[in-house]
A = this chain, B = another copy of it.
């Protein structure tokens, strides 16, 4: 992991500096919301992936920041809208933007960040980048909508769950990787390989996120433990638990999730069952398979620092604890 950390530490200041500079130029009322969400941390995985793929394919210019950071801004915009729509109280351990700035400012700041992201992508005079960004935004919005429909009418169907996490998380990570490849003038095959890496990494990333929700104490993740369950959200650890349960139990649970009538006691009981059955760990094992798929996509890339870091980044997804 040493190379990965060194790479991140070397590149993060410039990425954060670029994001700050762009946010500073926003209109005053948008700026405060933008700086709140950008300044709340975040791993900057998307911009780093864009940079890694661009360089791994031979890009040696120094103008990658606008497209790399546009992915982070798209991500930030979706967080602003989703946190509001989910009535989330915390984001990365800090109060969610809509609680600090109000719903109107938050929704419109999200729109402004979407626009800024598109403007940044358009700076290169390369319409493919704009097209990729638009597609990534669309897929993310659709993923969110499907997740919300799923939460209103939950099931324990794995395929629906997978479609949702692909839409709401993996597609934008795929998009970040494709943008890096396109910036470097990749062949269609190279772009697809980068995209496949991102898609699989994104799936693994969300699986680990959903596993962490059942496993990690609040202080590390900045989120309440078992928050997904309390919100009535069905994720893989719960699906795995129920796959081994009886049919009647599943129906009772689904009914309670749908009616939002799960008691604290029932919640604690389910959390204990997930812990005992090690379903959080089993979710991580499924994530591990996607990490392997992601790494296999890198076979055709030239050896070098970026390739090592991309491999380590895939492994890192599995080891993170927050």
User: Could you list which residues of chain A lie within 8 angstroms of chain B, going by C-beta atoms?
Assistant: 27, 29-30, 78, 81, 84-85, 103-105, 107-112, 114-116, 118-119, 121-131, 133-135, 137-138, 141-142, 144-146, 148-149
Contact = CB atoms under 8 A, between A and B. Distances in A.
B85 A145 contact: no
- With most chain B CB atoms within 10 A of its CB, the pick from A118, A127, A128, A146 is A118
Protomer copies: 2
A201 B141 CA distance: 33
A95 to B, nearest CB: 20
B81 A145 contact: no
A318 B284 CA distance: 64
A112 B27 contact: no
Given A85-B107, A85-B108, 7 more contacts: A81-B107, A111-B114, A112-B145, A114-B137, A119-B135, A122-B134, A123-B131
Contacts of A131: 119, 122-123
A114 B145 CA distance: 15
Closest 7 CB pairs of A and B: A119-B134, A122-B131, A118-B134, A130-B130, A115-B137, A115-B138, A122-B130
Contacts of A110: 111
Nearest to A84: B107
Given A104-B148, A122-B130, A127-B130, A112 B85 contact: no
Contacts of A107: 81, 84-85, 107
Contacts of A137: 111, 114-115, 118
A130 B112 contact: no
Nearest to A151: B104
B115 A122 contact: no
